[in-house]
Amino acid sequence: MVSKTDETCPAAAEDTGEGGERGCDIKREAAHSSGMPLVNGDSGHSHTEAEDHNEKGEGETRADDGNDQEVIVIQDTGFTVKMHAPGIEPFDLQVSPQEMVQEIHQVLMDREDTCHRTCFSLQLEGNVLDNFSELKSIEGLQEGSNLKVVEEPYTVREARIHVRHIRDLLKSLDPSDSYNGVDCNSLSFLSTFTEGDLGENGKRKRKGSELEQIDCTPPEHILPGSKERPLLILQPQTKDAKPLQCLKVLTMSGWNPPPGNRKMHGDLMYLYVVTAEDRHVSITASTRGFYTNQSTTYSFNPKPANPSFLSHSLVELLSQISPTFKKNFAALQKKRVQRHPFERIATPFQVYSWTAPAVEHAMDCVRAEDAYTSRLGYEEHIPGQTRDWNEELQTTRELPRKNLPDRLLRERAIFKVHSDFAAAATRGAMAVIDGNVMAINPGEETKMQMFIWNNIFFSLGFDVRDHYKDLGGDNAAYVAPTNDLNGVRAYNAVDVEGLYTLGTVVVDYRGYRVTAQSIIPGILEREQEQSVIYGSIDFGKTVVSHPKYLELLEKTARPLKIQKHNVLNDKSEEVELCSSVECKGIIGNDSRHYILDLLRTFPPDLNFLPVEGEELPEECTNMGFPKEHRHRLSCLRQELIEAFVEHRYIVFMKLAALQLMQQKANKQEKECPAVTENGGSSPADGNATESSKALSEDVDPKSKEVILNACKAVGSISSTSFDIRFNPDIFSPGVRFHDNSCDEVEKQKQLLKDAAAFLISCQIPSLIKDCVDHTVLPMDGATLAEAIHQRGINIRYMAKIVEYVSKSQARQQLDHIHKLGITELITRSAKHIFKTYLQGVELSGLSAAISHFLNCFLSSFPNPIAHLPTDELVSKKKRNKRKARHLGNVDNTAWASTTPQELWKNISNETKSYFNFTIECESVDQAVERYGLQKISLLREICVKSGIQILLKEYNFDSRHRPTFTEEDILNIFPVVKHVNPKASDAFHFFQSGQSKVQQGFLKEGCELINEALNLFNNVYGAMHVEICACLRLLARLNYIMGDNNEALNNQQKAVLMSERALGVDHPNTIQEYMHLALYCFANGQLSTALKLLYRSRYLLILVYGEDHPEMALLDSNIGLVLHGVMEYDLSLRFLESALTINGKYHGTKSLKVAMSHHLVARVYDSKAEFRSALQHEKDGYTIYKNQFGENHEKTKESSEYLKYLTQQAVALQRTMNEIYKNGSNASILPLKFTAPIMSSVLEQLNVINGILFIPLSQKELENLKAEVHRRQALHDTFCIAEQENSAEGTGTESDHGKSQAIVETSTAQASA
């Protein structure tokens, strides 16, 4: 039994043994959020409208097929039924007519008092209800009906489901699955910092009384300037980290399966239990339930014991024989029910943790059974055992997509199958590398072997049969799969009906790259030469084409900017293609048209592809291009192509407009505005061409000429409209054209050179500019790579970016980018070396080898010695035989002789040869010293990139007497997985239009659109996904701005949980979500929680990057302000002065951020009555405002007022002091006014530094808006619920974190302005 039910077959739904638990958690959440009273999961699971979306056709959701799709969700009136379950009082349950009976089953299996039942039917007046009928179709079911829960007899299958469900309930609080990266479990620590103190159901303390109770002192390592970098705090181990033990052992008995004569007595299977009191019990699962028998470990006696405690549920039986079980099980369920649903739902794709505490390995029958039975996918659910992945992937693509409900169903099915496929492919790839799968060509050399497992085809990333000999051998074979994956992603996004791609997942594991693909029906029965009817199997020597393929590919040509072109085949005949030559077309036995080998979908990157006799533009040659790269498969990224075309389009419009204006005739003057207006559309949508066509029809000859000239100037392939396309085959070796020097080919070559120059002269500078403006704020390698990729720059340009930064005028403001760049260069080079290093390691030496590598890489210990695995288990003769079966061709013990000096020398050679960058250091200490890096961040980067998991403990990197890591510190090695992320397109459009509405200031409309987007995202992705996280963050921000602090807290809490679960507890996105949550906590008067969250945020940023980061200034200002608010002045000053220093460094000493920092510091000195220091800081701030804004700006006036006030205070203080000096104790002292900070003014300042401006709305508008938001929120909350059952589990691409931040945030400059 598995936790995720399967979309594909109806039978699946019954089987959710544990799906029940996951699915209905969110129902409880719904109950919370709709404000229903909730007592320990009793009184009403509101999941009324949850399932309304299930039945799209029934008119609840209407889509108008225009550009503005409006989605109308009509709420269904729910009703209440009374549930009668054996052994407990009847209770009411809220249901919706749209629900299936199955969903009531799930609720009962999750409720605290009925969770131990799995094998039961529901009866209405004696009639058994069918699991798959909707409630509205059941006669006589209405408000107040009595539903009876009736225990049913067990079958073997039901008994297994029951045992699995009980095991899941026992393990429900155990985090080991999250640490081990199993079943889409992942970690979340938010609740350890909030201690259930969020929102209305938290144990709220009031503002007044709270001040006395807060201990605000931050831990030592969080104070500015601290050099400590503890690791243990990353995963705080709570006091209940060791969950309550209900049983010592629950496992299948060795007496299974029952012999024939016992089967005929109704025995289904035997269990063996050791209770917490150390009582050993044998249990029989029979058709009537569970009872104890008289068997022992060595003698089989299946007769019932006396008493036999026959019970229908295993929990009831165990509660009778073990008092500890009874007590602890009840406590465990109470706790389980109280957790936030988002802590329990499975994530769509597996997230791995790079550290884990030492967890005891407990006995677990279900886990053992899962590992050793042939449980490939989820066969228990599916008749016919393994899944036909190809069929599932292609069928979901064929679903109708005419209107919104259809598209939602289709996207949801695509997403679900993709996430299941990615999980299965990852398991298979690991099994292949671990040697657990038999090759389909076992006779060949290990590198050349191919594998089939669970209907997925696996191949290794080596150059088999010299296929890539001319392109870079193994290096080319290693990058080809990722290029191919990018091609698959691009074609999937274009989504042309009738054109199919393969499911593709690329897995890096233990130093090997494995490509997993779904299998085209019939391809294994025939030779490749016979199958390929389009493209080439030998890089362009023999080429064939096919009219149907040309027709299909033509539809993708415009969005992908691919030019149709002719190449010559081996007989020198011209063949027409609409893709690169390697792209092969194969018609499967299912008559579908498949394309594969899409590794050259995008044109080559000439900066890394020296071609004889071709000169690159000056911009490139000045930077030292072209360079020889390791392989000849370097392509430009899709983002670059789109940016380039967009850039050319603007040039085209300017040229045309300019020339038209020059022709001053009347007609042209009328024409001109049309040109520029039509030009508004962005070519990325492919609308540009139409708009320019429109402008070229019915135009007089002179204007035609203008357009012709403009087209020529920008390199358009058409002379009457703007249309730029690339020929991906231009510089492919082995591809021949009819006439290599003809105009057409020359034009294409020039276009490629221009694109290469555009990357150097436009994209890299624009990235640097965004970094200087801090519109791009990467905090670690992953976020830096993402920022680079979004601008279409490949990682191989990293060294160029670092050089650019070093030479930049704003070198100081780019210090963080420089450090991150160097860290990336070092860790990526180390990863390349680690990859080949691992290929030479036997499984038995893996932990020794990895710890030795990390010692050489990061430890100051000069000569770490590798401990070869002891070989007393293997005789000499046998050992030599075993070596032959090894995948790598390296000596199995070569790794042991690596030294730190040698490794660092290799790293510096690698950065030179791969990135063309010289790092000047021979050891880790020199690197740390020279570039200001920190070892803990280097460790995190190498672990995350290579899939290493280490023990959570404090590591001493700087000891020169003992190595940092031992074998015991290496816990696991995980796969690093790349796959396609299917998109929720409609939801995404809603989200984007919501964002732009908000930016234009239409908050109400924006809020509605974003709520709608949230609904649609949930519809496609289920409840847990990165894009939903961005949506919730924006909603929380809007709630806050519109004055609904509680709702803001609620949404932001979900965003934090989701970011932790779906991206990782130390992902930069999580750090920012914590900061937002802290602000809303403060606004809600939860000061101590706000501080804890800010401290957590600061700790994570220190761990991930270090202290010297522009984002740290914002964090420290936040912490300083909150501490000022709770009157911890000295602490507050430490943080605010740290923020002042960092702001000065990254924004320049004359910037508004620095002025703001001066003002904040002045306020604290004012509160401390140190007026002289306060005056000094406020003066500095005043000077900046005066220079930036002039005398009459309100900011300058405010500052000058505050200066006057401070001067008066200072004078008054001085007078008093003089009086005391003069008259001693007889002095008559006027009381001085000390200003304790008012919370509202602290909050005001917090809003300003976080870039939030308040927009006054009338009370009525606010009320309407709140009502609307609440209605939608309730809808969506309940909605995720049922959906989760068969939810489309999946992950988001990284594309949109960046975007969703710029929302209602004005830069501080404007805010303070």
Contact 155, 287 (CB under 8 A): yes
Is the distance from CB of 164 to CB of 17 less than 8 angstroms?
A: yes
Mean pLDDT (whole number) for 1208-1237: 76
* pLDDT score at 175: 87
Q: Which comes out higher in pLDDT, residue 745 or 503? A: 503
Residue 16: the pLDDT is 35
- Tens digit of pLDDT for each residue in 812-853? 999 999 999 999 999 999 999 999 999 888 888 899 999 999
Q: What is the pLDDT of residue 870?
A: 62
pLDDT band at 72 (very low <50, low <70, confident <90, very high): very low
Structure confidence at residue 1239 (pLDDT): 86
- Using pLDDT thresholds of 50, 70 and 90, give the confidence band for residue 7: very low
Digit-coded pLDDT (tens) for 369-411: 666 554 443 334 444 457 899 999 999 999 999 999 999 999 9
In percent, the amount of the chain with pLDDT more than 90 equals 57
Cα–Cα distances in Å, from 65 out to 217, 403, 404, 983? 58, 6, 8, 20
pLDDT over 50 (residue 720): yes
**pLDDT recorded at residue 1036:** 95
The yes-or-no verdict on residue 204 having pLDDT over 50 is: no
Q: pLDDT higher for 780 or 337?
A: 780
Is the pLDDT assigned to residue 975 strictly greater than 70? yes
Of the pLDDT bands very low, low, confident and very high (cuts 50, 70, 90), residue 507 is very high
Return d(Cα 649, Cα 719) in angstroms, integer: 14
The confidence score (pLDDT) of residue 661 equals 83
Q: Are 334 and 307 in contact (CB under 8 A)?
A: no
Mean pLDDT computed over 1042-1066? 94
Residue 893 tokens read as 């013990």
pLDDT, residue 540, reads: 79
Q: What is the pLDDT of residue 709?
A: 86
The whole-number pLDDT of residue 38 equals 30
pLDDT(62) > 90 = no
Q: How far, in Å, CA of 1281 to CA of 46, rounded?
A: 10
Q: What is the pLDDT of residues 339-349, one digit of tens each?
A: 888 998 899 99
- pLDDT for residue 883 is more than 70: no
Above 50 in pLDDT, residue 672? no
Of 292, 352, 224, the closest CA to residue 1142 belongs to 224
Top pLDDT among 1292 and 537 is at 537
The pLDDT of residue 57: 35
Local confidence band at 100 (pLDDT 50, 70, 90 cut-offs): confident
**Whether pLDDT at 136 is above 60:** yes
Neighbours of 111 (CB within 10 A): 24
Distance CA 906, CA 909 (A): 5
User: Which residue reads 């000429």 in tokens?
Assistant: 705
d(CA 91, CA 107): 13
Q: What is the pLDDT of residue 33?
A: 35
User: Is the torsion defined by CA of 398, 403, 407, 410 positive or negative?
Assistant: negative
CB atoms within 10 A of CB 430: 18
Q: Apex CA 588: angle with CA 587 and CA 589, to 5°?
A: 125
Per-residue confidence (pLDDT) for residue 37, from 0 to 100? 32
Detail the DSSP E strand segments found in 112-204.
Answer: 120-124, 127-128, 146-151
Cα–Cα dist 1028/345, whole Å? 14
- Judged against a pLDDT cut of 90, whether residue 194 lies above it is answered with no
**The pLDDT of residue 139 is above 90:** no
Per-residue pLDDT of 582-623, as tens digits, reads: 999 999 999 999 999 999 999 999 999 998 888 999 999 999
- State the average pLDDT over residues 1277-1306: 40
Give which of 713, 751, 493 is closest to 603, Cα–Cα. 751
User: Which three-class secondary structure state does DSSP give residue 149?
Assistant: strand
pLDDT value of residue 370:
67
Asked if the model's pLDDT at residue 655 lies above 60, the reply is yes
| 36-48 residues labelled b (16+ CB within 10 A) or e (exposed) | eebeebeebbbbb
Quick check: 320 pLDDT over 70?
yes
Placement of tokens 């909730």 in the chain: 38
What pLDDT score was predicted for residue 801? Answer: 96
pLDDT exceeds cutoff 60 at 107: yes
pLDDT-derived band at 1276 (thresholds 50, 70, 90) equals low
Predicted pLDDT at 1308: 33
Band of pLDDT at residue 1010, cut at 50, 70 and 90: very high
The mean predicted confidence, pLDDT, of the chain is 83
Burial 297-329 (b: 16+ CB within 10 A, else e): eeebebeebeebbebbbbbbbbbebbebbbebb
- Alpha-carbon torsion, ordered 906, 908, 910, 912, to 10 deg: -150
Whether pLDDT at 939 is above 90: yes
Q: Quote the percentage of the chain above a pLDDT of 70.
A: 81
List pLDDT tens digits, range 205-253. 444 444 445 677 899 999 999 999 999 999 998 665 566 788 888 888 9
pLDDT tens readout for residues 144-155: 899 999 999 999
User: Is 504 in contact with 480 (CB distance < 8 Å)?
Assistant: no
